[in-house]
Amino acid sequence: IDVAKAAEYVLSCRNFDGGFGCVPGAESHAGQIFCCVGALAIMGKVCDLCEDDVDLLCWWLAERQCDSGGLNGRPEKQADVCYSWWIVSALAILGRVEWISREKLGVFILECQDDEDGGIADRPGNMPDVFHTFFGISGLSLIGHFNQKG
């Protein structure tokens, strides 16, 4: 694989707002940002982003935290547990997890857990599914929830 060309393509998907779209010029989206940041990390090319670019990207990601404590994938959308994986993992790769309220996010994820069957839904009160259960557990892990004493 031509890693330099692959990294060049990923970087061409970066937008003026700091995020990444799925192709050059496409709207920034948190899931796509994870894919781009993850790909750059695997290729050892995160360093191709200057510090100001990383800060702008992480600001965009941190701005996805809603009043509920959950995270959304794009501006003006509802919070969804799945973004606790997509966003927090990208912030972790970039060393900026502290830019969000981990406590508020943890509360949001736990509010999405069904008291009867234990699964996690996209939002409080909705039906749980394995997709959101996986992403909710992953998000809790990334914010250190399982490392807390007590």
Catalytic site positions: 29, 74, 77, 80, 82-83, 122, 129, 132
How far, in whole angstroms, is CA 142 from its chain's centroid? 10
Each as own residue / partner, the long-range contacts of residues 129-134 (CB below 8 Å, 24 or more positions apart, any chain) are 131/82, 132/80, 132/81, 132/82, 134/85
DSSP 36-60: HHHHHHHTT-GGGS-HHHHHHHHHH
- Residue 124 tokens read as 């409080």
Q: Distance between CA atoms of 82 and 87, rounded to whole angstroms?
A: 9
